[in-house]
Chain A
Amino acid sequence: MKRVVITGAGTINSLGHSVPDTLEAMREGRCGISELEFRDVDRLAIKIGGQVRGFEAEGRFNRQQMSLYDRFTQFTLTAAKEAIEQSGIEFHGELAARSGVVLGTAGGGVSTWDDNYRSVYEDGKNRVHPFVVPKLMNNAAASHVSIEYNLKGPSFTVSTACASSNHAMAQAFQMVRSGAAPAMITGGSESMLCFGGIKAWEGLRVMSKDACRPFSANRNGMVQGEGAGIFVFEEYEHARARGAEILCEVAGFAMSSDAADIVMPSKQGAARAMAGALADAKLNASDVCYINAHGTGTAANDKTECAAVAGVFGPHADDLMISSTKSMHGHLIGGTGAVELLACIMALRDGVIAPTIGYEEPDPECALDVVPNEAREAKVNVALSNAFAFGGLNAVLALKRI
């Protein structure tokens, strides 16, 4: 089995348009959640979100590209550029033939669906742009990354709601670890902040109208975000041979299915995924210093997740740190695990733990060290990144300092 390392990271989200900007915001505990701005927002009950601001797609992409790139693809390509440039990897010949791209997204081109439904239903038009289908398809982002960077190996999109990115990164990890691919581009993207995207979520009545306060007793729901996180996963010796900077090691993963309820999380399912990731990485529970929580800020997730952590880690649960950066960037749904992996990289590489902001009142059902409100310095050798999706599909990644 090969060792797998991360040699490039890129992002765009409500905290920043790059990894350095995002990590700085996380260190400062800045909040990227604000009033949403888009058409018909006045008809929504939920009017806040972690929206990407100041992103001018028109200057970045040409006219032909704009007609093919939904916002989730634009985010993906922006983050992929940062990640691949940082990594310095170039895909030619055998490397290009065997390397691929596996990305996560829950909704794909949601705003393309929204715009075109509006056009035919509300505006009564009988014609849509010829590229609607290739623009909205869930694999559009993965395909455009493959086209842009000459990635000719295994490439596809994974869609498991809020765990999409983690499932995608687990797939990419497996391909590199098994030797099937020397490098993989992976991560995820989401852009659901449009009228239809938020309206659908409103129906479940799990969204907060004012803030995302994970683990805080007065939490009242999740807040959506948007953006992308993209990484270069590379075989360790391959990265060493070309002198690449290594951000951290991906040590293991596990996936589990609750096989129980379509929306309510399960303590057992979450616990099995965390314990499984440790076993796969050949780590002990006591090795873990930091967990990037799924931490959505809903009543159900946070208490279930804390109970699962207590179950897996026993007394060590009181010694480790667990934070939810969704409090800052919102819940990026299918892209969330990818942006949250950045907090794990910051913990492992820089020794800085991103805080859970908006924390106001302790909840006895979430009695863990949630790194409230202010970032903390700590040496972290092992971190976990949790993602527990609607549908009861869980994926946890284990990462190591290098």
Chain B
Amino acid sequence: MSISDRVIAIIAEQAVLEPSDVTPESTLENLGIDSLGLVESIFAIEEEFDISVPFNANEPEANDFDISNVAAIITGIEKLVSEKV
């Protein structure tokens, strides 16, 4: 599975949706993922890829990590995974 598919699978599981219902344009809000769900998704992503995602729930806009939609999250994860090596 590609990074994109793996991230979507995690988000879909959190949103209790099928992966096919999660599109790159989806926002977490559209998917019904609240602040706790977001923190849980980030945890699951960190575990899946063995990376550390710079995210503080107090300043989601100020973070280096863009969570504005699924595509932005995937781009961020791809960058973190590529930097890992």
Which A residues lie at the B interface, using CB under 8 A? 45, 203-209, 219-221, 262-264, 298-300
Select one of A45, A262, A263, A298 contacting B58, CB under 8 A. Answer: A298
Contact A299 B43 (CB under 8 A): no
Q: Interface of chain A, helix or strand or loop or mixed?
A: loop
B55 interfacial contact with A, CB 8 Å:
yes
1/0 per residue, CB under 8 A from A, across B20-62: the answer is 0000000000000001100100110000000010011111001
**Closest partner residue, chain B, to A263 (CB atom):** B36
Nearest CB in chain A: distance from B38 CB, A: 9
Q: Which residues of A contact B42 (CB under 8 A)?
A: 205
Contact A221 B56 (CB under 8 A): yes
Q: Which one of A205, A208, A262, A300 has the highest number of Cβ atoms from chain B below 10 Å of its Cβ? A: A205
The 4 closest A-B pairs by CB, nearest first: A299-B58, A221-B58, A205-B57, A220-B58
Contact A203 B43 (CB under 8 A): yes
Report, as a range, how many residues of chain B touch the other chain.
10 to 19
CB within 8 Å for A299 and B57 given contacts A203-B43, A205-B42: yes
Nearest CB in chain A: distance from B83 CB, A: 17
Nearest CB in chain B: distance from A217 CB, A: 10
Contact A203 B58 (CB under 8 A): no
Contact B36 A205 (CB under 8 A): no
A297 to B36, CA, bound (A): 18
Nearest CB in chain A: distance from B56 CB, A: 6
25 contacts between A and B (CB under 8 A): A45-B52, A203-B39, A203-B43, A204-B39, A204-B57, A205-B39, A205-B42, A206-B57, A207-B56, A208-B58, A209-B56, A220-B56, A220-B59, A220-B62, A221-B56, A221-B58, A263-B35, A263-B36, A264-B35, A298-B57, A299-B57, A299-B58, A299-B59, A300-B35, A300-B58
A263 to B58, CA, bound (A): 13
Q: Which residues of A contact B55 (CB under 8 A)?
A: 205
Nearest CB in chain A: distance from B72 CB, A: 18
Select one of A205, A263, A300 contacting B56, CB under 8 A. Answer: A205
Nearest CB in chain B: distance from A395 CB, A: 23
**Closest partner residue, chain B, to A297 (CB atom):** B58
Q: Which residues of B contact A299 (CB under 8 A)?
A: 57-59
A262 to B57, CA, bound (A): 15
Q: Which residues of A contact B56 (CB under 8 A)?
A: 205-209, 220-221
**Closest partner residue, chain B, to A299 (CB atom):** B58
Select one of B36, B52, B59 contacting A262, CB under 8 A. Answer: B36
Contact A219 B43 (CB under 8 A): no
